[in-house]
Structure 1
Amino acid sequence: MSTDSRPYRYGDFPELFWDLQKDVEIDHDNPYVISRVLREGNLNLVRQLVSAETLTRHFDQLVLPDHIRAFWALVIEKLQQRHGANSNS
């Protein structure tokens, strides 16, 4: 997972942010925005808009259905295991 460095605006993703101001830059640290991307976005959109660090930092604040929370909890666990393995090398 990595956030694209391009400054995206809500209007770049009308399928996710139809109700937000189109010309405003996406707030990648906003738990509401992160939750929406995880609930309604595909994997490519998640990769573009949510970094692993941001997901991990805000995960407890996210409003997600149980099945989506369980999936992303597993993703975070795997990322942390991989990070731990890399730091031990």
Structure 2
Amino acid sequence: MRDLLAVTGAGVVVCDVGGLGPGPPDLAAVDLLARLELAARRAGGRIRLRDPGPALRSLLRLVGLGLQVEGEIEEREPALGVEEEVEPGQPAV
């Protein structure tokens, strides 16, 4: 993954997951995608999925792995109630 991102200069690697194999996706597929995403992030990039089936999408949501899907607008994670920055040493409000 690191070499692919470095050689191409791309920031995103598209992974075609439409043909992962017969039967429903399993945790091995999720593990593989998580490892690919981690390697891509460490190299300064991301992965984007092409043609994930409904079962794979559901499984990814279930385990909390929010990967971007080709052709969809990237969803940003909502802020967790952070409203103000506090400098170190300042009392909590």
Q: TM-score interval w.r.t. the shorter chain?
A: 0.3 to 0.5
Q: Which structure carries more strand by proportion?
A: 2
TM-score where L is the length of structure 2:
0.33
Q: Which structure carries more helix by proportion?
A: 1
TM-score where L is the length of structure 1:
0.34
Task: Please tell me whether Structure 1 or Structure 2 has the larger radius of gyration of its CA atoms.
Answer: 2
